[in-house]
Copies of this chain bind each other. A is one copy, B any other.
Amino acid sequence: MQELIKDSIMKHLANPSNIDVPLEALDDSAVIDDIVFTTDSHTVQPLFFPGGDIGSLSVCGTVNDISVMGAQPIALSLGFIIEEGFSIEDLDKILESIGKMSTEAGVPVVTGDTKVVEKGALQQLVTNTSGIGKRTELLDNNIFEVQRHREFNEKWLKDSNLRPGDKIIVSGYIGDHGIALLSFREGYGFESEVQSDIWPLNKMIALALKGGGVVAMKDPTRGGLANTLHEWAGKSKFGIKIDEDKIPIREGVQSACEMLGIDALNIGNEGKVVIGVVKEKAEDVLKIIKTTNEGKFAEIIGEVREDMTGVAMVTSVGGLRLVDAPAGDPVPRIC
């Protein structure tokens, strides 16, 4: 269905050529007139879960989608669609967590809209958060640093920017959000050790840019790390090779994945970023990220390669495994 939708959308909504990062790029955000602009609807179920709720998810998802383009998020919009009779106490809790995350990120909600629909027309509540961001000197300086090491003619940190030799950093444990949600929903019991990683990454990302040499960033949400790497490999037209032993995975997530027969690489995250950096700066950027709470378990997990296409992983036992592009996320209504 997603494929059909994508075809249908692209057929009718082709963008004019003056747009820096158009709809067709299917990147984390669009860029027009140096304004970074993104949108996300949230249908997560249940609304409250270990480590977060639909409110924190709404704020962080959008803050992160803007930040990974290399921009500074400056404002959010918030749309609610609410089923009649929804608990005002729960709504208040959701708004409280929106307020908290917005304050944490330093990005205000400046405009909103609320629609109430009759009972039965919607399961509880869904949200939409859009956001805008702007170019900063930090991004300009980061790009200048990239250009000291290799040719680079881009203004934004797009999915298509990776080149052979670039190193790939993951900012911390993967799979936490999806496993926390799935386990809580199904009662598997892993949620005692695994909580969602929902967090606004704009401050950590600003530090990474200060390090310099960053060519691309992406938050590995639906479809997880595997999806991010495939988007990058496909749009950049080079292969990516990663090292299984380097990928930070929490023990509880690993056990849950083994028990459930799902691949942690395919599971959505909400507080992680994957960073492509010129090789000369990879260790510097890693070191800076590791000074932050949200990035203390960051690792360099691989690199971009000219001698292959797609995504491959050197396994713990030394073999080479092809990493498939996930068809979707194994956990439904994850965000």
Contact = CB atoms under 8 A, between A and B. Distances in A.
Interface of A: 1-2, 4-6, 8-9, 11-13, 15-16, 19, 22-23, 29-30, 32-33, 35, 37-43, 45, 74-75, 77-82, 84, 88, 91-92, 95-96, 98-99, 102, 108-118, 120-123, 126, 128, 130, 132, 134, 332-333
Given A5-B114, A39-B128, A11 B75 contact: no
Leading 3 A-B pairs by shortest Cβ distance: A12-B99, A130-B130, A39-B77
B108 A2 contact: no
Given A5-B114, A95-B11, A108-B23, A41 B79 contact: yes
Given A15-B108, A122-B122, A32 B74 contact: yes
A121 B124 CA distance: 9
B16 A108 contact: yes
Copies per complex?
2
Contact of A9 (B11, B19, B95): B95
B134 A77 contact: no
B43 A111 contact: no
B92 A32 contact: no
Contact of A110 (B23, B99, B126): B23
A109 to B, nearest CB: 5
A127 B38 CA distance: 15
Nearest to A19: B110
Given A19-B108, A77-B130, A113-B41, A121 B123 contact: yes
A6 B39 CA distance: 22
A69 to B, nearest CB: 11
Contacts of A81: 41, 43, 126
A148 B18 CA distance: 37
Which of A40, A79, A88, A102 gathers the greatest number of chain B CB atoms within 10 Å? A79
